[in-house]
Amino acid sequence: MRALFVDDEREFLELMEKRLSRRGIEVSTAHDGLEGVKAVEEAAAAGALPDVVVMDVRMPGMDGLEALRRMKAVAATLPVVLLTGHASLGVAVEGMDLGAFDYMLKPVAINELILKMEEAARAAG
């Protein structure tokens, strides 16, 4: 499985890269919404979209919801899981309305996250 992680917390990204690659998941990273959208656009142009995107909501510059909107415009079936430390039901609902596969809260157990990523990838594929 190939996953794109979009998050402004670099430590979190490093941790995910380390822990997920150990389980055979190929992780690429982006540090804010805009960078994430660019990554998706480039992947779409190359015909190699990731299997799943895991994205933070609150990020400087372009936030996760706006990035989600733009990603869906590029690749409507791309599964995006929102993963945030900011608990807000309003944001969760907005995200799901924009087509997010699910909304999860940090901190998340790594196994739970992987199950969700697999489920999202399966649902799309």
Partner 1 sequence: MGVLDSLRNLLGRGPAQPDPEALAREEALKARLRERCARFRRLLSANKAALEGMSEAEALLSGGHPFGMDAVRALGTRVGASVYQMVRELNALSGNAYPELNDAFRRVHASVEACLARREHEEDVPLILPLADIRLQHMPLVGGKMANLGEVAANVGMDVPEGFAVTVAAYERFMQHNGLRDAINQRIQSTDLESLDAVFSLSASLQQLVQGASLPPELESALEAAVADMQRRLGPDLRLALRSSAVGEDGLGVTFAGQYRSELDVLPEEACDVWKEIIASKYSVTAMSYRFQRGIPDEAAPMCVGVLSMVRAEAGGVAYSRDPVAARQGREQVTLNAVPGLPQAVVDGGMTPDVFTFSRTNPPELLERQIAVKPFRLDCAPGCAQGVRRTPLSPEEGARACINDGQALHLARLALALEEFYNEPQDVEWALEMRDGASCLVVLQSRPLSESGDTAEAGRAEPLPDSIPASAILAQGGMTVSGGAAAGPLFVARKDADMLSFPKGGILVVERAHPRWAPLLPQAAAMISETGGMAGHLASVAREYGLPALFSLPDACSLLADGGMATLDADRAVVLRGEYPELLAGHEKPRNLMQGSPVQETLRNMAEFMTPLHLLDPESPEFAPASCRSFHDITRFCHEKAVELMFGENADVDQRAGKQLKAGVKLQYWVVDMDDGFSGPVTGPIVDLRDIACEPMQALWAGMTAVPWAGPPSSGAAGFMSVVFESAMNKDLESTAPAVMAEKNFFIISSKYMILQARYGYHFCTVECLAGDNQHENFVSFQFKGGAADAQRRERRARLIAELLEAEGFRVDVRKDALFAVAEGYDKQETLLRVRILGYLLIHTRQIDMIMLEEARVAAYRAKFEQDIAGLKTK
Considering the complex, what minimum distance in angstroms separates the CB of residue 88 from partner 1? 6
Q: Which stretch binds partner 1 (CB under 8 A): 31-39, 46-54, 71-79, 87-95?
A: 87-95
Task: Of 79, 90, 59, give the one whose Cα is nearest residue 120.
Answer: 79
Binding residue count for partner 1, defined by CB under 8 A:
20
Q: Please pick, from the candidates 87, 98, 110, 121, the single residue that binds partner 1 as defined by CB under 8 A.
A: 87
Range 20-79, binding partner 1 (CB under 8 A) = 58
Specify the 3-state DSSP secondary structure of 105. Answer: strand
Q: Which stretch binds partner 1 (CB under 8 A): 29-37, 47-55, 71-79, 81-89?
A: 81-89
Considering the complex, what minimum distance in angstroms separates the CB of residue 5 from partner 1? 16
Please count the other Cβ atoms lying within 10 Å of the Cβ belonging to residue 20.
20
Specify the 3-state DSSP secondary structure of 1. Answer: coil
Cα 4 to Cα 51: distance, rounded to the nearest angstrom: 8
Cα 116 to Cα 87: distance, rounded to the nearest angstrom: 18
To which H or E segment does residue 27 belong? strand 26-30
Q: Does 106 bind partner 1 (CB under 8 A)?
A: yes
Considering the complex, what minimum distance in angstroms separates the CB of residue 24 from partner 1? 16
Cα 88 to Cα 92: distance, rounded to the nearest angstrom: 6
Q: Which chain residues interact with partner 1 by CB under 8 A?
A: 58, 85-90, 92-93, 96, 102-103, 105-107, 111, 115, 119, 122-123
